[in-house]
Amino acid sequence: MSRARVARRIAQAAAYGGGGISLLGGAAVGLLLTEVALARRIVGGSDAVAPRADGRYGSLFVHAEPPLILGFLGDSTAAGQGVHRARETPGALLASGLAAVAERPVRLVNVANPGAQSDDLARQVTQLLDGEGVVPDACVIMIGANDVTRRMPLAKSVRFLSDAVRRLREAGSEVVVGTCPDLGSVEPVQQPLRWVARRLSRQLAAAQTIAVVGLGGRTVSLGALLGPEFESRPREMFGPDNYHPSAEGYATAAMAMLPSLCAGLGLWPEDRPDARRGEGVLPVAQAAAAAASEGGTEVAAAVGAASGPRGRWALLMRRRRRRLPDAAASGPEPADFSPSGA
């Protein structure tokens, strides 16, 4: 069965409350669990606390009030675990980049929780909308890796994400989702776990895309943690625990997501799709499957395109990455977290 068909089935199961879709037999599961135990001992993980990067960015534009509000939700990758400086986290990098493009200050509110699975997104959305008392202009969600490693049924994972995106969209936020990274790119993981991890990661990423686009959000494929750089230069792109990105890895991720974030806010010129680059309008499941295989690929709803016999249509874009401004020069400043400070 093609990845597009499997992703469509997962998304449909999520929408209608169905169970997970099993891709492995019993013997394969036993072998996989053995490989998982070995990989965990090799990879290890990190107990380091992610640096807190909340605050205002874009000090050059202090007189251009009010600031844009950027919400960040998800797991340890969204929190920026694996780096030591706030300016190296993806939230800080995107807030700085957004401020430079918009020529307005940006207030970053990060409620991501290291170790989170998609079932924690409901709590994070409540914390953001009710606890912080703000409605972000845009939200970035990075989630999915822990759902795969802890064997959450894929349909449940997509359903939790869909609920979170729906709440944020109904509140008035633009939403960009960095889909499940390709766990097959984690260097210490060996075959056959590498193949299984890659397959599950990409199936989840494709199903996430179908669900998010259907709710009016955009997705950016994190692929092999945002591109071939991670496979060709793992020593530079992964952090000390061989699992979370390094500062350079997070910068690569942020460069890939910034154009989609700006496009969602109407700050980025809408490029015409270039067929030579494989861009264009496709059935959403086909676009989702293609994006899952290539890091940095954006999928959004196709404007003005009605649904066809294979479902709704989506626009697949491979946006050119832009160099990010120095986060250290633009923030963070101490943030006022009261509603009036928004």
pLDDT digits 0-9 by tens, 274-331: 888 888 999 999 999 989 888 789 999 987 655 544 558 999 998 766 666 655 445 5
8 Å CB contact between 227 and 252: yes
CA distance 153 to 149: 11
- pLDDT band at residue 16 using 50, 70 and 90 as cut-offs: low
**Of the listed 54, 75, 76, 96, which one is catalytic?**
76
- pLDDT band at residue 165 using 50, 70 and 90 as cut-offs: very high
Residue in 189, 193, 150, 183 with CA at minimum distance from that of residue 43: 189
Residue in 134, 67, 152 with CA at minimum distance from that of residue 106: 67
Please give the structure tokens belonging to residue 70. Answer: 């950027």
Residue 60 Cα to chain centre, angstroms: 28
HSE at residue 325, side-chain half, CA atoms within 13 A, is 20
**Of the listed 163, 185, 201, 244, which one is catalytic?**
244
What pLDDT score was predicted for residue 335?
41
Place of tokens 């071939």: 228
297 phi/psi in degrees, rounded to 5: -90, 130
Answer whether residue 218 is part of any domain: yes
Answer whether residue 30 is part of any domain: no
Residue in 204, 244, 203, 241 with CA at minimum distance from that of residue 226: 244
Answer whether residue 42 is part of any domain: no
Structurally, the chain folds into a number of domains equal to 1
Residue in 285, 20, 311, 14 with CA at minimum distance from that of residue 163: 14
The pTM score is 0.83
46 is catalytic: no
244 is catalytic: yes
Calculate the CA dihedral of residues 44, 119, 174, 179 and round it to 10 degrees: 40
Answer whether residue 41 is part of any domain: no
Answer whether residue 34 is part of any domain: no
Answer whether residue 44 is part of any domain: no
Report in angstroms the alpha-carbon separations of 311 from 93, 281, 282, 286, 306: 36, 12, 10, 10, 9
Digit-coded pLDDT (tens) for 177-227? 999 988 776 555 566 666 777 788 889 999 999 999 999 999 999 875 444
63 is catalytic: no
Q: CATH number for the domain including 104?
A: 3.40.50.1110
**Of the listed 119, 241, 271, 293, which one is catalytic?**
241
What pLDDT score was predicted for residue 35?
56
For the stretch 28-43, what's the b/e string if a residue is b when 16 or more beta carbons lie within 10 angstroms of its beta carbon? eeeebeebbeebeeeb
In this structure, of 106-110, 118-122, 129-133, 269-273, the range with the lowest mean pLDDT score is: 269-273
Domain hosting 233: range is: 3-16+49-328
8 Å CB contact between 56 and 341: no
The per-residue DSSP string of 214-278 comes to HTT-EEE--TTTTSTHHHH-HHHHB-TTSSSB-HHHHHHHHHHHHHHHHHHTT-S--PPP-GGGT
What pLDDT score was predicted for residue 23?
46
Answer whether residue 338 is part of any domain: no
8 Å CB contact between 182 and 223: yes
Residue 216, Ramachandran bin (φ over 0: left; ψ between -120 and 50: alpha; else beta): left
Answer whether residue 282 is part of any domain: yes
